[in-house]
C-alpha cells in the first residue's frame, strides 16, 4: 500500500500531519527537542505572547486533579521583543510551521501585537487567545461575549495578513454563537477548546491550592466536553477546526477528526510524556494504514450520527 496522506491545510498553512502542540504546554519548542523530533509535528504553537514581558501569577500555579490538572500560570511570557530576539532564531532551525498564540490586555494591544507578528517571516500563522480564564483584564470578556469577540477578531484581522486562527473558550452557554461571531469577524480557522475554569482546595489548610484561587482545567477529564463542542461547531461553521482537549493518543486525535476537526493540538499530554505529540502523529499514520484509509481528510467530520 502507498503511504496514506496525512497533510492538511489550516487557513492556508500546510501541515504535514494534523498534530500540533497546544499553546503553553510546549514552551517555545526548544524545550522538547531532546525528547522528540520536532520535524514529526504538523505545527508548533508557542506560549501565549503579549506585547510586554508578563510576570504571571504567584505560585502555586498548578495542581493535579482527577484525570486532569488546573493551571493558573497567568500567561507569564517573555514579551514580543525577547520572543523575536531569543526564541525566533531556534524556530528558524525547524521546517515545521510555527504558529504564535497571542493575547492582549486591551483591544488595542491585540491589534498592535498582531501587527508586530505580521512582520516576522518565521511565523506561519497567528492563534488568538480570547479564552484564557486567568487574566481578569481582557481575557474573560473577549472570550465569552460574542460582540467583544467580533471586535477583537476584526481588529486582528485588519492588523495582519497572516493566517488567522481564533481559540475558543468552553466556559460559555453556547459555543456555536461564539464560533460564528469569530468567523464573521474574519477567523480562517477555530481552535477549541481552551481550559474549563475550575478550582481545587486544600482541606487541611482551608485554602484554595492555587494562589490565583481558580485555574484552567485541562487533560483527559475535559475530553468529552471538547469533543462535544468540536462536533457542535463543525455542524455549523465552514472554516477548519482544530480540536483540543485531553488528547493523549492517536485514537483520541482521530476521534476529534471524526467529530469535525481538521487538525488537533496536544497539550497536557506533553507533560505526561514529552514525546507524545510525535507518537500521536506516527500513531495516526499507522491507524490509517491498518484501516485502509488513504487520506486523513476522508475522516474529517466523518462521524455517522
Ligand X SMILES: Cc1cc2nc3c(=O)[nH]c(=O)nc-3n(C[C@H](O)[C@H](O)[C@H](O)COP(=O)(O)O)c2cc1C
Query: What are the residues binding another protein (CB under 8 A)?
Result: 24-27, 31-32, 34-35, 47, 53-56, 59-64, 66-69, 71, 73, 76, 219-220, 248, 268, 270-275
228 binds its own copies (CB under 8 A): yes
292 binds its own copies (CB under 8 A): no
Binds 247: which of ligand X, another protein, its own copies, none (CB < 5-8 Å by kind) = ligand X
Binds 132: which of ligand X, its own copies, another protein, none (CB < 5-8 Å by kind) = ligand X
User: Per CB under 6 A, which of residues 121..160 are in contact with ligand X?
Assistant: 129, 132
Number of other residues whose CB lies within 10 A of the CB of residue 85? 10
71 binds ligand X (CB under 6 A): yes
**Which of residues 9, 199, 273, 275 is near its own copies by CB under 8 A?**
199
**Cα separation of 124 and 114, whole Å?**
13
Residue 265, beta-bridge partner list: 20, 244
Site string for ligand X, 263-292 (x = CB under 6 A): ---xxxx-----------------------
Q: Which residue has the cell 486591551?
A: 106
| 285 burial level (CB within 10 Å; 0-12, 13-18, 19+) | middle
146-159 vs 175-184: helix axis angle to the nearest 10? 30
Binds 48: which of ligand X, another protein, its own copies, none (CB < 5-8 Å by kind) = ligand X
Which CB atom, from 23 or from 131, has the smaller least distance to its own copies? 131
Residue 59 phi/psi, 5° resolution?
-100, 160
Torsion over CA of 132, 138, 140 and 144, rounded to 10 degrees?
Answer: -110
Q: How far is the CB of 181 from ligand X (least distance, A)?
A: 18
* CB-CB contact of 245 with 175 (8 Å): no
Closest Cα to residue 263, out of 189, 161, 153?
Answer: 189
148 binds its own copies (CB under 8 A): no
Closest Cα to residue 25, out of 40, 46, 39?
Answer: 46
Question: Of the listed pieces 51-59, 232-240, 260-268, 282-290, which binds ligand X according to CB under 6 A?
Answer: 260-268
Residue among 49, 132, 250, 277 flagged as catalytic: 132
132 is catalytic: yes
* CB-CB contact of 169 with 144 (8 Å): yes
250-259 vs 276-290: helix axis angle to the nearest 10? 70
Give first-to-last CA distance, the chain, whole Å: 30
**Which of residues 49, 132, 244, 259 is near its own copies by CB under 8 A?**
259
165 binds ligand X (CB under 6 A): no
Binds 303: which of its own copies, ligand X, another protein, none (CB < 5-8 Å by kind) = its own copies
Q: In whole angstroms, how far apart are CA 15 and each of 44, 132, 170, 236?
A: 10, 25, 25, 24
Q: How far is the CB of 294 from ligand X (least distance, A)?
A: 28
Tell me the residue number closest to ligand X, measured at CB: 24
Binding site for ligand X (CB under 6 A): 22-25, 47-48, 71, 73, 75, 101, 129, 132, 167, 194-195, 218-219, 222, 244-247, 266-269
- Catalytic annotation, residues: 132
Amino acid at each position: 500500500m502507498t503511504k496514506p496522506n496525512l497533510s492538511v491545510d489550516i487557513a492556508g498553512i500546510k501541515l504535514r500531519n494534523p498534530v500540533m502542540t497546544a499553546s503553553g504546554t510546549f514552551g517555545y519548542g526548544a524545550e522538547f527537542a531532546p525528547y522528540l523530533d520536532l520535524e514529526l509535528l504538523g505545527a508548533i504553537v508557542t506560549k501565549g505572547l503579549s506585547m510586554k514581558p508578563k510576570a504571571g501569577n504567584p505560585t502555586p500555579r498548578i495542581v493535579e486533579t482527577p484525570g486532569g490538572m488546573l493551571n493558573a500560570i497567568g500567561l507569564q511570557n517573555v514579551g514580543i521583543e525577547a520572543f523575536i530576539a531569543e526564541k525566533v532564531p531556534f524556530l528558524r532551525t525547524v521546517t515545521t510551521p510555527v504558529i504564535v498564540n497571542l493575547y492582549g490586555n486591551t483591544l488595542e494591544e491585540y491589534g498592535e501585537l498582531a501587527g508586530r507578528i505580521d512582520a516576522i517571516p518565521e511565523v506561519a500563522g497567528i492563534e488568538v487567545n480570547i479564552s484564557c480564564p486567568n487574566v481578569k483584564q481582557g481575557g474573560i470578556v473577549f472570550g465569552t461575549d460574542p460582540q467583544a469577540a467580533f471586535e477583537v477578531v476584526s481588529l486582528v484581522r485588519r492588523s495582519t495578513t497572516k493566517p488567522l486562527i481564533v481559540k475558543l473558550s468552553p466556559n460559555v452557554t453556547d459555543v456555536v454563537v461564539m464560533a460564528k461571531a469569530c468567523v464573521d469577524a474574519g477567523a480562517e480557522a477555530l481552535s477549541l477548546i481552551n481550559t474549563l475554569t475550575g478550582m481545587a482546595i486544600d482541606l487541611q489548610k482551608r485554602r484554595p491550592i492555587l494562589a490565583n484561587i481558580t485555574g484552567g482545567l485541562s487533560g483527559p477529564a475535559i475530553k468529552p466536553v471538547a469533543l462535544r463542542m468540536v462536533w457542535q461547531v463543525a455542524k455549523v461553521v465552514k472554516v477548519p477546526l482544530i480540536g483540543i482537549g485531553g488528547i493523549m493518543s492517536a485514537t483520541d486525535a482521530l476521534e476529534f477528526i471524526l467529530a469535525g476537526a481538521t487538525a488537533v493540538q496536544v497539550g497536557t499530554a506533553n507533560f505526561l510524556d514529552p514525546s507524545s505529540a510525535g507518537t500521536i502523529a506516527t500513531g495516526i499514520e499507522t491507524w490509517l494504514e491498518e484501516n485502509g484509509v488513504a487520506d486523513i481528510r476522508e475522516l474529517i467530520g466523518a462521524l455517522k450520527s
